Amino acid sequence: MKRIAIIGAGNVGLAAAKAVMLSPDMELCGFIRREAKRVSGFLGIPAAKSVFDLPKKPDGAIICLPSRLVEPVEKELLEAGIYTVDSFDIHEELPAMRRRLSAAAEKGGVSAVIGAGWDPGLDSVIRTLMLAAVPQGITYTNFGPGMSLGHSAAAREAFGVADAISFTLPVGFGKHRRKIYAVLKEGENNAAVEHGILSDGYFEHDECSVEFTDSVKPLFNTSHGVLIERSGNSAGNGSQWINFRMAIDNPSLTGQIMVSAMRACFLQKPGAYFMPEIPPCDFCGEGWEKVI
């Protein structure tokens, strides 16, 4: 039975906590929050500002913070000998982050699974398998329609924004539009805030628009989806077509994948890993052989 702490108590943190509680091989030993108050009465789980303040040192920590806040927290945990999982979602920064966190993990004699969410994460594994099965071809990943947790967090952190959510709308063949609904802080200027949101690296790849509104609460929902398509050649034959489609509650899926990645993390040699580097059976508990 592994003791697991959850860092952050947002949508994903709460889902990860629930997934830990439903896992027979794990015990939820604490929430880590900046405010260090109890997260929720019904959970009855200790909360602290740091894992080192918890009654017992956790074996593993699931880091459910906005991507920009992940790395220093994760480095400290790894160096202290605590296994970690994050769902850092800025694809192009992952290889360099892995090198840095691998060094920390080796120092602490533990492992990390990084980019372990939905995409990067499960989708990365699917794309890797598609590449193995159909080595010559093109893969299209189409997200949504749905609210992006990472992009919403980035928009909320922009200057002058009181609240915001960002929706991802698929245009087809890997192209997307993003629609950001934002609530201005009092006295701020629409145009300046819009420019601030859109200049974040999260938003520079896609066609984006911002709409200001009084409240984003009526728009808030966690349903999402993806369609990954690949067509191409296997063994030189061009009639191959594979697709992978999900319609999901986003924080539940992300939290669950992080918990499954935590299980696998304990089985890896010291270092930091992407999900496609891990044997899929390691994500599951006993019984996976039944699906062979």
- Select 206 or 249, whichever has its Cβ closest to its own copies: 249
Is 292 a residue that touches its own copies (CB under 8 A)? yes
- Select 215 or 223, whichever has its Cβ closest to its own copies: 223
Residues in Cβ contact with 237 at an 8 Å cutoff, skipping those fewer than 6 apart? none
Quick one: which of 131, 162, 183, 198 contacts its own copies (CB under 8 A)? Answer: 131
The contact pattern for its own copies, residues 162-201, with x = CB under 8 A and - = no contact, is ----------------------------------------
Quick one: which of 246, 266, 270, 271 contacts its own copies (CB under 8 A)? Answer: 246
Closest residue by Cα to residue 77 from 14, 163, 2, 5: 5
Quick one: which of 135, 138, 209, 217 contacts its own copies (CB under 8 A)? Answer: 135
The window from 14-22, 69-77, 80-88, 205-213 that contacts its own copies (CB under 8 A) reads 14-22
Is 93 a residue that touches its own copies (CB under 8 A)? no
Q: Concatenate the DSSP letters of all residues of the chain into one string.
A: -EEEEEE--SHHHHHHHHHHHT-TTEEEEEEE-SS-S-S-TTT---EESSGGGSSS--SEEEE-S-HHHHHHHHHHHHHTT-EEEE----GGGHHHHHHHHHHHHHHHT-EEE-S-BTTTBHHHHHHHHHHHHS-EEEEEEEE-SEE-HHHHHHHHTSTTEEEEEEEEEEEETTEEEEEEEEEEPTT--HHHHHHHHHTSGGGTTSEEEEEE-S-SGGG---EEEEEEEEEEEETTEEEEEEEEEEEEEHHHHHHHHHHHHHHHHTTSPSEEE-GGGS-GGGGS-TTGGGG-
Is 105 a residue that touches its own copies (CB under 8 A)? no
Phi/psi for 111 (5° steps) reads -125, 160
Instruction: Give the shortest CB-255-to-its own copies separation in angstroms.
Output: 5
The window from 49-57, 63-71, 134-142, 175-183 that contacts its own copies (CB under 8 A) reads 134-142
The window from 17-25, 33-41, 189-197, 205-213 that contacts its own copies (CB under 8 A) reads 17-25
With CB under 8 A as the rule, give the number of residues binding its own copies: 64
- Select 126 or 216, whichever has its Cβ closest to its own copies: 126
Quick one: which of 95, 109, 172, 201 contacts its own copies (CB under 8 A)? Answer: 95
The interface with its own copies within residues 22-41 (CB under 8 A) comprises 22-23
**Residues forming the site for its own copies (CB under 8 A):** 15-16, 18-19, 22-23, 91, 94-95, 115, 120, 122, 124-136, 139, 223, 233-237, 239-249, 251-253, 255-257, 259-260, 274, 276-281, 283-284, 288-289, 291-292
